């Protein structure tokens, strides 16, 4: 069963890249210019193997969790030169 979708869940951490990403205890999802990449940092600490095509259901679940969390957060503050 998937972890709670609550934005306050300690299993969910967000961080800023050029876009938003999401880290759970098992996976890291990273947005890039042409889609999303999914990594298992424990099994692949160098993040050289994108698992997104092998686990589309996990990508969908994590994207939903991130969307719910992001909707409750303020807009990020952009640094110099960022729009």
- In the chain, how many domains are there? 1
Contact 37, 50 (CB under 8 A): yes
Mean pLDDT of 22-47: 88
Read off the pLDDT of residues 35-64 as tens digits, 9 standing for 90 and up: 889 999 999 999 999 999 999 999 999 888
Better pLDDT: 52 or 32: 52
Q: Quick one: what percent of the chain has pLDDT higher than 90?
A: 30
Secondary structure, 3-state, 25-73:
CCCEEEEECCEEEEECCCCCCCCCCCCCCCCHHHHHHHHHHHHHHHHCC
Is residue 77 very low, low, confident or very high in pLDDT (cuts 50, 70, 90)? low
C-alpha to C-alpha distance for 76 and 37, rounded to whole angstroms = 22
Q: Which residues pair with 60 in a beta bridge?
A: none
**4 inside domain:** no
**78 inside domain:** no
**Predicted TM-score (pTM) of this structure:** 0.63
Q: For residue 63, give its domain range.
A: 13-71
State the CATH number of the domain containing residue 28.
Answer: 3.30.1120.10
**46 inside domain:** yes
**81 inside domain:** no
**76 inside domain:** no
Query: Among all chains, which residue has been given the structure tokens 């160098």?
Result: 46
**61 inside domain:** yes
Please state, as a whole number, how many other Cβ atoms lie within 10 Å of the Cβ of residue 1.
3
């Amino acid at each position: 069963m998937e972890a709670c979708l609550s934005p306050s869940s300690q299993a969910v951490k967000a961080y800023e890249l050029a876009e938003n990403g999401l880290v759970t205890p098992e996976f890291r999802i990273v947005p890039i210019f042409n889609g999303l990449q999914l990594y298992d940092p424990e099994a692949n600490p160098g993040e050289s193997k994108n698992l997104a095509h092998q686990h589309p259901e996990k990508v969908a679940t994590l994207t939903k969790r991130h969307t719910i969390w992001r909707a409750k957060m303020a807009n990020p503050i952009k640094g110099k030169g960022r729009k």
